[in-house]
Amino acid sequence: MIAILGLAIGVVVGLLVQPTVPAELQPYLPIAVVAALDALFGGLRALLDGIFDDRVFLTSFLSNVVVAAFIVFLGDQLGVGTQLSTAVVVVLGIRIFSNAASIRRHLFRA
Amino acid sequence: MTLLTELTRRPLDPSYADAAARRAVEGDRRGAVSHGLAVLLAALLGVGVAAAALALRTPTAGDRQARALLEHQVLEKRDVVDALEASNARTASEVTALQESALRSSDPQLLDRTRPWAVASALAPVVGAGLRIVLTDAAGTADNPDDLDLRVQDVDLQVLVNGLWAAGAEAVAVNGQRVGPTTAIRSAGSAVLVDLVPLVGPYTVEVIGDAPELQTRLARSTAGQHMAMLHATYGIGVQTSSVAKMELPGSGSLVLREATVPDEALAAAGLADAPAAAGVRQSGADKEGDGS
B-chain residues within 8 Å CB-CB of A52?
Answer: 16
Distance of alpha carbon A49 from alpha carbon A29, whole angstroms: 30
CB contact under 8 A, B47 and A2: no
For residues B163 and B237, state if they share a domain.
yes
For residues B181 and B216, state if they share a domain.
yes
pLDDT value at residue B255? 72
pLDDT value at residue B197? 82
Which of B106, B141, B158 delimits the end of a domain? Answer: B106
Domain membership flag for residue B121: no
CA-based radius of gyration for chain B: 37
**What CATH number is associated with residue B220?**
3.30.70.1880
**Closest CA–CA distance from residue B152 to any residue of chain A (Å):** 46
Mean pLDDT by 10 residues, chain A (110 residues): 84 86 83 89 87 86 89 89 88 88 84
Q: Is the ipTM of this complex over 0.90?
A: no
For residues B134 and B176, state if they share a domain.
yes
Four-point Cα dihedral B6, B10, B14, B18, nearest 10:
-130
Nearest-CA neighbor of B203 among B148, B140, B154, B131? B154
Domain membership flag for residue B20: no
- If you measure CA to CA, which chain A residue comes closest to B6? A95
β strands within chain B, DSSP E? 126-136, 171-174, 177-179, 185-188, 191-194, 197-199, 203-208, 237-248
DSSP letters for A66-104: HHHHHHHHHHHHHT-HHHHHHHHHHHHHHHHHHHHHHHH
Q: How many domains does chain B have?
A: 3
Domain membership flag for residue B23: no
CB contact under 8 A, A6 and B38: yes
Whether chain B has a CB inside 8 Å of the CB on A3: the answer is yes
Distance of alpha carbon A46 from alpha carbon A43, whole angstroms: 5
- List the single residue in A11, A18, A45 with the smallest CB-CB distance to B46: A11
- List the single residue in A2, A8, A99 with the smallest CB-CB distance to B11: A99
Domain range for B92: 35-106
Averaged over B198-203, what is the pLDDT? 84
Question: In the predicted model, is pLDDT for residue B271 greater than 70?
Answer: no
Whether chain A has a CB inside 8 Å of the CB on B49: the answer is yes
CB contact under 8 A, A56 and B51: no
- If you measure CA to CA, which chain B residue comes closest to A4? B42
Q: How many residues does chain B have?
A: 292
